[in-house]
Structure 1
Amino acid sequence: MEHNLENLVNAIEAARKSGRFFCKFLSPNDTGSNGSHQDGIYLSMDAWNIFFNERPVLETGIEERLVKIDLHNGKSFDSRVVYYTSKKEFRITRFWSNGTFQREERDDLVGALIVFIPLSKRNNEDYKVYIFNTEEEIEEFTQTFSLSFTRNYSVYQEYGYITETQTFEDKVLELVAGYDAFPDTSIMAHISRKAFMEYYNKTSIDYDKDLINWIDTEYTVFRLIEREVYKDKLIEPFYDLQSLLDFANSALNRRKSRAGRSLEHHVNHIFTQQNIPFANPGQTEGRKKPDFLLPSTEAYQNLAFPPENLILLGAKTTCKDRWRQVLSEGERVPQKHLLTLQQGISENQLEEMENAHLQLVVPKPYHNQYPRAYRQKLWSIHDFLKYVNEKY
């Protein structure tokens, strides 16, 4: 599916008009790429009110309903939303078959973002569905609504993204109290780690899990600071369209800026905590600046320093296409590494990465979102840190 600006604009407009939607990254299980014979996209019970009018409470059996799907490419067809009590599974079935998706199309959609938007505020029967399979589309949509995907999915309501619990939000509010302007993005990352670690009274760190938790918490931190900073703007009316547009563009650009630096800030913290030498960003040939260069830029530019002891790490939230950027960022490092939060990539892309000598580093909880044939080849954050500590 090619990048289509009009399609993206239509999706954002439809989502805003509806005020609620469910979206998730498609896993091999969802597309059937793992060999499963089940024709269904797994949903979350957190999204029950997007697909059912009343919460399923059956002790046995199933609850199901037919829904109409209006796919962004013009296809319209019926699907079936079903909750299996025995399996505690919630799926939408007959989607791929009734949508007449070919097997190759489905395989290429691993890691794509699918969005279900109810077309009625009262009855959950008709849905506009968009599938985004480029990083530009995924980032533009998710950052427009400031969504977090640490659990692979996001449920958006008119009152905002569903957060953990009110008591946890209270902890975040305690730490962000007094901010009447946006702090530096590194400060927001620090507040997020502090809020999570203190609220859950954590004394030890599992970097694979806690990196995800810190980034998830940061969405809450940012939204609460955003609400405080913009409260006057949201109460006072805008008297001309240009003022409204300027404010909206400024708010959206700030969301994108924060999201773009978040992962780097947390990786920077992990390396510092582990006493790992690094440059962030590094500098290699010319103006090339990889996200992380280990042990330092000076070591890289010293031709007497053994190239086998150099490590180049890209840090990209999504990497369906941008992984190729990492390949050209340091000629002295033949085997490069890329840390990503991307939840699933097609086998074809993973094979390309392997052939290009790029080692993918993915938080361990996300490994199951990848094709089974490649899961053993993925590195966890723990694996990467072990590799680095053996060198330095």
Structure 2
Amino acid sequence: MWWKIQSLASQSTELFVKKLSRNDTSWADDSGKHQAGFYIPRPIREAGFFPELQANNPAKLHIFHAECTVLWPQTGEITLSNMRHYSNKGPETHFTGLPKPLFRDLTPASLILSGRLAQPISDCSYWIIVLDSATEEAELLETALDLEAGFHYGRFEPSRFEDASRLARDETQELIERLQSAIRNGTLPELLAEYADIPNPATIAAGARKEWLQTNGFTGLDPWAIPNPGDAIMEISRDIEFRHYRRYELRRRAVELVSLLADSSDLTTAVVRRFPEIDRVFLSASQQRKNRAGRSFEHHIAASLKAGHIRFTEQAVTGGRRPDFVMPDLSALRSKKRTYAEALVLAAKTTLRERWKQVSSERLNCDVFLATVDDRVAASSIREMANADIRLVVPEALKSSDEAHYKGQPNVLSFREFFDGEIRKSRPFLVIAR
């Protein structure tokens, strides 16, 4: 599918991407709903990506309408789709006439990707692909277009698939030139040694926090001073830090691969014969990236707790488990004399899937909270966590998002609510007097 997306993007003059909300997809899972389609935000409608809407019914001048022929590459269907804007009801435009199966059973925060074709294909001027957020293609799209954690919708130039930014182009070209020079001069081992070590997660995390603090005018990640501490943690860990990490990763892995192949005069033979070594490089890169993501989130939560002068112990071993954060400390957690509210456990997982079930066994006669920045958690999983007495802590933007499924769930708190309600109000003894 990814090669097809790249091919269609190269034939398009402009791209439109939207993160799907519940209103965009619920009709596909509920046969009782008659409105089948997703909504086009007003800025996209007014920007001219889709055909201009016309009010051509004198009896109903409040209804603006347009049609467009759409290719759906995933099913091979061609639809004569309709766009309808009721100017007396709201700013959005309803896009209907589309293949229902593509929108059924989607993971929260899935994406639609559409392109306006330079030349029609089968009389179609547009193409649309639906990407479930749990798929590799969705992750590739987010990386290719540098979609940040707070992304909702946007228009993009197709060239973004080749180069995400001028800075990335410049850095990539510099690396290419260094590699070419090292091959000519026989200094590849020295370059490999220079780029061999990616800074440890704590160092990269500290650099990302420093950038966010300088940009936003704060001296520390103090949850009492920052209005939306969860949003700050999400932006630092998912956007800024990942951008920093990718620069280090590219240098190291590129030099490793070039070093494997540089001595061969026949590239094809070298790739085939040394494929196991090449495979190990990519496997190592994948494992390191996954490990970094989890530790990154924990580092920023710890920095926020420290900046807020909140008593906690990190990675304390108890009962064969190692909860990410115990408050106030392990001795209090183990005490048989304390009350239920005099201790709590806070686990941290960037992505949940079924991994949240690991947290339920960490119950030790206290509240158990699970912090995450995952916007793909289904409502059914959230209810399962509630039944297991697990309360979720999510960034403020995700708690109120129409695309995630956290809104209105009684066992979901924002980071702001967690700090204000569960710590300052319910457990003031956790905050050290300044």
- TM-score scaled by structure 1? 0.70
Which residue does 2:397 correspond to in 1? Answer: 365
The equivalent position to 2:226 in structure 1, one of 176, 198, 205, is 205
Cα deviation code 1:142-166 (max 9, x no counterpart) = 699586541246989433556xx96
Q: CA deviation at 1:365?
A: 1.0
Q: CA deviation at 1:267?
A: 0.7
Task: Tell me, in whole angstroms, the C-alpha distance in 2 between the residues paired with 1:331 and 1:117.
Answer: 49
CA contact (8 A) 1:69 1:76 kept: yes
Which residue does 2:348 correspond to in 1? Answer: 315
Q: CA deviation at 1:375?
A: 4.9
Which residue does 2:186 correspond to in 1? Answer: none
Change (3 A) 1:326 1:22: farther
Which residue does 1:175 correspond to in 2? Answer: none
Task: Tell me, in whole angstroms, the C-alpha distance in 2 between the residues paired with 1:260 and 1:14.
Answer: 32
The equivalent position to 1:246 in structure 2, one of 276, 280, 304, is 280
Task: Tell me, in whole angstroms, the C-alpha distance in 2 between the residues paired with 1:385 and 1:158.
Answer: 40
Q: CA deviation at 1:292?
A: 1.9
Q: 1:287-298 residue pairs with structure 2 within 5 A? A: 287-298=320-331
Task: Tell me, in whole angstroms, the C-alpha distance in 2 between the residues paired with 1:232 and 1:362.
Answer: 38
Letter of the 2:393 partner, please give it: V
CA contact (8 A) 1:111 1:342 kept: no
CA contact (8 A) 1:70 1:129 kept: no
Cα deviation code 1:84-138 (max 9, x no counterpart) = 798775876434xx3247xxx84x53525346487x99877455544255xxx56
Task: Tell me, in whole angstroms, the C-alpha distance in 2 between the residues paired with 1:231 and 1:121.
Answer: 35
Which residue does 2:311 correspond to in 1? Answer: 277
Change (3 A) 1:372 1:312: closer
Task: Tell me, in whole angstroms, the C-alpha distance in 2 between the residues paired with 1:189 and 1:255.
Answer: 13
Which residue does 2:79 correspond to in 1? Answer: 78
Change (3 A) 1:128 1:30: closer
Q: CA deviation at 1:321?
A: 2.9
Change (3 A) 1:80 1:185: farther
Which residue does 1:223 correspond to in 2? Answer: 246
Q: CA deviation at 1:288?
A: 1.5
The structure that has the greater radius of gyration is: 2
Q: 1:166-205 residue pairs with structure 2 within 5 A? A: 180=195, 181-202=197-218, 204-205=225-226
Aligned to 2:348, the other structure's residue is in SS state: strand
Does 2:108 align with 1:111?
yes
Change (3 A) 1:236 1:16: farther
Letter of the 1:189 partner, please give it: A
Letter of the 1:318 partner, please give it: T
Aligned to 1:288, the other structure's residue is in SS state: coil
RMSD, matched Cα:
4.7
Q: 1:6-155 residue pairs with structure 2 within 5 A? A: 11=1, 26-32=20-26, 38-41=35-38, 55=49, 65-71=68-74, 76=77, 78=79, 80=81, 93-95=96-98, 98-100=99-101, 106=104, 109=106, 111=108, 113-114=110-111, 116=113, 125-126=126-127, 129-131=130-132, 133=134, 141=139, 145=143, 149-152=148-151
Change (3 A) 1:224 1:81: farther
Does 2:403 align with 1:343?
no
Letter of the 1:192 partner, please give it: A
Which residue does 2:337 correspond to in 1? Answer: 304
Q: CA deviation at 1:289?
A: 1.8
Letter of the 1:159 partner, please give it: E
CA contact (8 A) 1:318 1:342 kept: yes
Cα deviation code 1:238-285 (max 9, x no counterpart) = 342214333333333332222222211111111111111222223332
Q: CA deviation at 1:82?
A: 5.9
Aligned to 1:360, the other structure's residue is in SS state: strand
Which residue does 1:374 correspond to in 2? Answer: 408
Which residue does 2:424 correspond to in 1? Answer: 389
Aligned to 2:279, the other structure's residue is in SS state: helix
Letter of the 1:212 partner, please give it: M
Q: CA deviation at 1:24?
A: 6.4
Number of residues of Structure 1 aligned to a counterpart in Structure 2: 354
Does 2:384 align with 1:352?
yes
Unaligned runs of 5+ in 1: 1-10, 171-178
Task: Tell me, in whole angstroms, the C-alpha distance in 2 between the residues paired with 1:140 and 1:288.
Answer: 33
Which residue does 1:173 correspond to in 2? Answer: none
Q: CA deviation at 1:312?
A: 1.4
- TM-score scaled by structure 2? 0.64
Which residue does 2:236 correspond to in 1? Answer: 214
Task: Tell me, in whole angstroms, the C-alpha distance in 2 between the residues paired with 1:116 and 1:109.
Answer: 15
Task: Tell me, in whole angstroms, the C-alpha distance in 2 between the residues paired with 1:27 and 1:302.
Answer: 45
Task: Tell me, in whole angstroms, the C-alpha distance in 1 between the residues paired with 2:256 and 2:41.
Answer: 35
Unaligned runs of 5+ in 2: 55-63, 172-193, 220-224, 262-266
Cα deviation code 1:269-316 (max 9, x no counterpart) = 11111111222223332x222222222223223333433212112212
CA contact (8 A) 2:332 2:338 kept: yes
Identity of aligned residues (%): 22
Letter of the 2:424 partner, please give it: N
Q: CA deviation at 1:327?
A: 1.1
Letter of the 2:423 partner, please give it: V
Aligned to 1:32, the other structure's residue is in SS state: helix
CA contact (8 A) 1:279 1:296 kept: yes
Aligned to 2:132, the other structure's residue is in SS state: strand
Change (3 A) 1:47 1:259: farther
Letter of the 2:71 partner, please give it: K
Does 2:324 align with 1:256?
no
Task: Tell me, in whole angstroms, the C-alpha distance in 2 between the residues paired with 1:257 and 1:23.
Answer: 29
CA contact (8 A) 1:281 1:291 kept: yes
